[in-house]
Structure 1
Amino acid sequence: MAVCLVTGATGYIGGRLVPELLAYGHHVRCMVRSPARLRDLPWAGRTEIVTADALDPVATRSALDGVEVAYYLIHTMGGGDGFASSDRAAARTFAAAAEAAGVRRIIYLGGLSDGAELSPHLSSRAEVARIFLDCRVPAVVLRAAVIIGSGSASFEMLRQLTERLPVMTTPRWVHSRTQPIAVRDVLRYLRGWASVPGEVNRTFDIGGPDVLTYADMMRGYATAAGLPRRLIIAVPLLSPWLSSHWVGLVTPVPASIARPLVESLRNETVCREHDVSAYVHDPKDGLIGFTLAVTLALQKIKEADVATRWSSASSPGAPSDPLPTDPDWAGGSLYIDRRTLACDVPPEAVWKVIEGIGGDNGWYSLPAAWKVRGALDRIVGGVGLRRGRRDPQRLRIGDSIDFWRVEEIEPGRLLRLRAEMRLPGLAWLELSVRCEGDRTVYEQRAIFHPHGLLGHLYWRALAPFHGLIFGKMPRAIVVSARSA
């Protein structure tokens, strides 16, 4: 097993690669500028963490001391005139430090391109690859196009555009061909090269089994997500600058991130060889196709525990899952209405009210509004409020409460309900109680994951009513607990 250094451990690929290397017995050292960003990750305690900036030759040389395999997963996504020179300087500093430290191999994840006029983003990645290939340490450069997985900037842009726009007017790049690859296959290649013997110094193209246009991927995503077929109209007038601002306007992906991605889409990104399989063999079942990769990326959204997956910083998860270090706009849209109230009522009394909620006991805010919502649900074929409760005081997992179902219960602490009403998305209501010093804190979260444009419109349309319905619940529950 090798001593591996991973740069960019707080990034999309690095944060997923570290647990893969650990699982295969490698010793992992993470080189980061801000160690505090790793503290909530479940694997952080099993790694060696060093503080260094790749632009600092002394700190970088020290970080690489005793390292056999160094993963370089640093790349600036922002725009401006300085990002390419910063990438160049960091790569040269890292290469020189790796030479001085006697590193056996550098592994760099770069961008796949067709060799034509490259975008600044792809051009900088190609330059970094050349720096490593020209240094004295053997380097393996893996060139990938669109990586499919929750948290990948390219995938998030694809996800958000397809989810939010049933009809899209798009630039001509929508017809550029690309060869997307599942994040699981990317990690398998990266991890595999830590154990490959001998000196290898070259680039390898890596991609999945499907060659698609961006329009094909949008339609494929819609199918995998259960959305209606998207109508895509390509027009020649949208420049990369306009396109990036358009993406920033209709999705949570910042325009500064969208622009380099959009500029890169004008290049065809299809693999010209598959030589990597001679060193890191393909799985028996073959590489993961686009549809399965999207399904895996969406899997945790479809599973019942999505509410905790988005809120827990310690869930290990799979490579396709969101991570705490992912940006806020990654992992799909999630709307949360959070309310907290500190009080002097014993936590046991508050919990008793929480566990007795619904049915004949009601929902402690605007009962007429709850009845109207139940009636509307019945009209569209839902269950409405007719189910009530099995027991007026006690709950267990799987119990129905009106149009909710108990998904999780931690006696005295947490009740999470999953909505079973007819909705354009998935919804949860989470009620919890805890002690903070000599005070009891009641917390309430209404969580909604929209399905398509209708889901986003649904949440926004009801947002004013949430302030009335959910806003009154905390105080009413505390008052009820105090008077019990």
Structure 2
Amino acid sequence: MRCLVIGATGYVGGRLVPRLLDAGHEVRVLARSPDKLAEVPWRDRVQVCRGDVTDPVGTAAAMTDQQVVYYLVHSLTRKDFVRVDRDAAEVVATAARTAGVARLVYLGGIVPDGTTRSPHLASRAEVGSVLLDSGVPTAVFQAAVILGSGSASFEMLRYLTERLPAMVTPRWVHNRIQPIAVRDVLHYLVRAAELPPAVRGAFDIGGPDVLTYLEMMRKYAVVAGLPRRLVVPVRLLTPWLSAQWVNLVTPVPRGIAVPLIESLVHEVVCHDHAIAAHIPDPAGGLTHYERAVELALARIRSTDVPTRWSDAGAAPSDPLPTDPVWSGGTVYEDVREHTTSASPDALWDVIESIGGEHGWYSFPLAWSVRGWADRVIGGVGLRRGRRDPRRLHVGEALDWWRVEHLHRPRILRLRAEMKVPGRAWLELAVEPGRAGGAVYRQRAVFEPHGLAGHLYWRLIAPFHGAVFGGMVRNITGTAEHQTGSARDRARHEGER
């Protein structure tokens, strides 16, 4: 099938595209800012059109010869998002009908019982109605909270739970929600491309668990290994006040937090599972809440220096370059770079011989004190040393580190095994300089675990200049000395 994805730079759209490709479909994407797709893994496998869904001409051009159109756009960050989303839906509906599109697919929100709805949910329902009235066979999927790293609703839940061991909350924390894992959402969306024309309408989709928001926070804490969260509901907290509080303690923008929290005033539970008559559940069944959280926490967010931790996008839970900067949880970094006259080989020799009897090239007293403190609280300290003074191997111990990745002679990545409230890595990398010499890159990464992890990073941050800055200066200085000595020896041998 020839599929057009509108909203490929968004959370769901960016993960849907590679699944459609893997299913054998041809994919075209319509993006207002195609530059945002420059680093996604699937960029070279799709046709990219520049355009805005409020522009009838550009939207119609993108739909030419397309059989299935996925509409995954919303404008929550705008104050007039209700009007903008309605106008855009009308443009898409008209263009799809005119172009002879065989199927429209839209992802909206579960419509709660009763007549009063939040502007967010009312807008989603209105967009779905516009598309259903287009005359084009349309499947509107309605979901509550989508569970996955990068999902705004999930990120809000993540930050609240991780950063606040005790919290005062509004009474809506006792409302029931039927969340769904992003992998299951993608399952329904991909299969929707093959629905027969007779299948049209709105379908609720949700996971197997119905939980209150309070239960979701507490179960998240269990999966993340955090202590039980103390939650005290207060009736006086309005949705607006709750949104200001969320904006204060999380990096989720207020423009997104306000409509999301207003929606939590409602119970959002699937009214039925009618979709199963047309699209079977995923193999192995729908994903339970705890498993979905495990998948979302499986990887820390990739960063763009100097090499990626992994090839992003292999699974729906993996991060993508198009995800917001505030998604993926908090990851602290200390990144330093220095151009040196040392040869790349000499610089690598110093890096691979680090630790053990050679030490860590900065502030020896600080390393000793930290190692002693680690042993006092039951950690490994610095007593393990290293097996070989010059060569390292993946998996071996190096003082309080473990060699996690070794690409000789370019990258050494170490994973900390000291007692810290979180996970830590140290990455040392070498690149040949453009005009000779080498470029040394050093990156310390810390993923905090709960409030204690955030406080730990802030406590040690003042010492980073002496510790990490000293490492840069002394590692490159030692390599420069070795390079100079090698040149002197070569010169003396040549004179003989």
- Could you say which TM-score interval applies, normalised by the shorter chain? over 0.9
* 1:92 paired residue among 57, 66, 90: 90
The answer as to whether partners of 1:41 and 1:314 remain within 8 angstroms in 2 is no
Superposition deviation, residue 312 in structure 1: 5.3
1:430 and 2:448 aligned: no
Equivalent residue for 1:440? 438
Distance in structure 2 (CA, Å) of the matches to 1:316 and 1:208: 22
Superposition deviation, residue 95 in structure 1: 0.8
1:404 and 2:401 aligned: yes
Secondary structure of 1:109 counterpart: strand
Any residues of structure 2 matched to 1:413-428 within 5 Å, and which? 413-428=410-425
Q: Which amino acid aligns with 1:430?
A: E
Distance in structure 2 (CA, Å) of the matches to 1:283 and 1:323: 23
Distance in structure 1 (CA, Å) of the matches to 2:438 and 2:236: 59
Distance in structure 2 (CA, Å) of the matches to 1:310 and 1:166: 34
Identity of aligned residues (%): 56
Any residues of structure 2 matched to 1:28-427 within 5 Å, and which? 28-80=27-79, 82-116=80-114, 117-301=116-300, 311=308, 314-427=311-424
Equivalent residue for 1:462? 460
Q: Which amino acid aligns with 2:349?
A: K
* 1:482 paired residue among 474, 480, 486: 480
Superposition deviation, residue 311 in structure 1: 3.9
Secondary structure of 2:297 counterpart: helix
Distance in structure 1 (CA, Å) of the matches to 2:177 and 2:16: 24
The answer as to whether partners of 1:313 and 1:323 remain within 8 angstroms in 2 is no
The answer as to whether partners of 2:103 and 2:197 remain within 8 angstroms in 1 is no
Distance in structure 1 (CA, Å) of the matches to 2:475 and 2:305: 23
Superposition deviation, residue 379 in structure 1: 0.2
The structure having more radius of gyration, on CA atoms, is: 2
The answer as to whether partners of 1:40 and 1:313 remain within 8 angstroms in 2 is no
Secondary structure of 1:258 counterpart: helix
Superposition deviation, residue 122 in structure 1: 1.0
TM-superposition CA deviations, 1:130-155 (whole Å, max 9, x none): 11011111111000000011111000
Q: Which amino acid aligns with 1:229?
A: R
Which structure 1 residue ranges, 5 or more long, are not aligned? none
Secondary structure of 1:299 counterpart: coil
Equivalent residue for 2:490? none
Q: Which amino acid aligns with 2:333?
A: I
- Alpha-carbon RMSD across the aligned residues, in angstroms, is 1.8
Equivalent residue for 1:18? 17
Q: Which amino acid aligns with 2:455?
A: L
Distance in structure 1 (CA, Å) of the matches to 2:2 and 2:8: 15
Structure 1 pair 313/244, CA: closer, same or farther in 2 (3 Å)?
Answer: farther
Q: Which amino acid aligns with 2:175?
A: S
TM-superposition CA deviations, 1:60-105 (whole Å, max 9, x none): 101000111100000012142x211111111111111111110011
Q: Which amino acid aligns with 1:361?
A: H
Aligned residues: 480
Superposition deviation, residue 453 in structure 1: 1.0
The answer as to whether partners of 1:76 and 1:83 remain within 8 angstroms in 2 is yes
Superposition deviation, residue 157 in structure 1: 0.5
Superposition deviation, residue 346 in structure 1: 1.4
TM-superposition CA deviations, 1:47-71 (whole Å, max 9, x none): 1111111011111101000111100
Equivalent residue for 2:485? none
Q: Which amino acid aligns with 1:382?
A: G
The answer as to whether partners of 1:300 and 1:306 remain within 8 angstroms in 2 is no
Equivalent residue for 2:487? none
Q: Which amino acid aligns with 1:399?
A: E
TM-superposition CA deviations, 1:228-278 (whole Å, max 9, x none): 111111001222222112111111212222111111100110111111011
Structure 1 pair 26/140, CA: closer, same or farther in 2 (3 Å)?
Answer: same
Secondary structure of 2:11 counterpart: coil
TM-superposition CA deviations, 1:138-192 (whole Å, max 9, x none): 1110000000111110001101111111111111111111100011110000001
Superposition deviation, residue 283 in structure 1: 3.0
The answer as to whether partners of 2:187 and 2:282 remain within 8 angstroms in 1 is no
Superposition deviation, residue 316 in structure 1: 3.1
Q: Which amino acid aligns with 1:95?
A: A
Secondary structure of 1:300 counterpart: coil
The answer as to whether partners of 1:8 and 1:73 remain within 8 angstroms in 2 is yes
The answer as to whether partners of 1:88 and 1:128 remain within 8 angstroms in 2 is yes
Q: Which amino acid aligns with 2:295?
A: L
Which structure 2 residue ranges, 5 or more long, are not aligned? 483-496
Distance in structure 1 (CA, Å) of the matches to 2:393 and 2:296: 31
Distance in structure 2 (CA, Å) of the matches to 1:436 and 1:91: 52
Distance in structure 1 (CA, Å) of the matches to 2:295 and 2:9: 22
Distance in structure 2 (CA, Å) of the matches to 1:196 and 1:179: 25
Q: Which amino acid aligns with 1:219?
A: R
Distance in structure 2 (CA, Å) of the matches to 1:67 and 1:283: 27
The answer as to whether partners of 2:340 and 2:480 remain within 8 angstroms in 1 is no
Secondary structure of 1:58 counterpart: helix
Distance in structure 1 (CA, Å) of the matches to 2:28 and 2:63: 9
Distance in structure 2 (CA, Å) of the matches to 1:437 and 1:73: 44
Distance in structure 1 (CA, Å) of the matches to 2:339 and 2:322: 30
Superposition deviation, residue 359 in structure 1: 0.7
The answer as to whether partners of 2:336 and 2:472 remain within 8 angstroms in 1 is yes
TM-superposition CA deviations, 1:195-232 (whole Å, max 9, x none): 12233221001111111110010011011111111111
The answer as to whether partners of 2:403 and 2:413 remain within 8 angstroms in 1 is yes
Structure 1 stretch displaced more, 199-208 or 209-218: 199-208
Q: TM-score, normalised by structure 2?
A: 0.94
Equivalent residue for 2:489? none
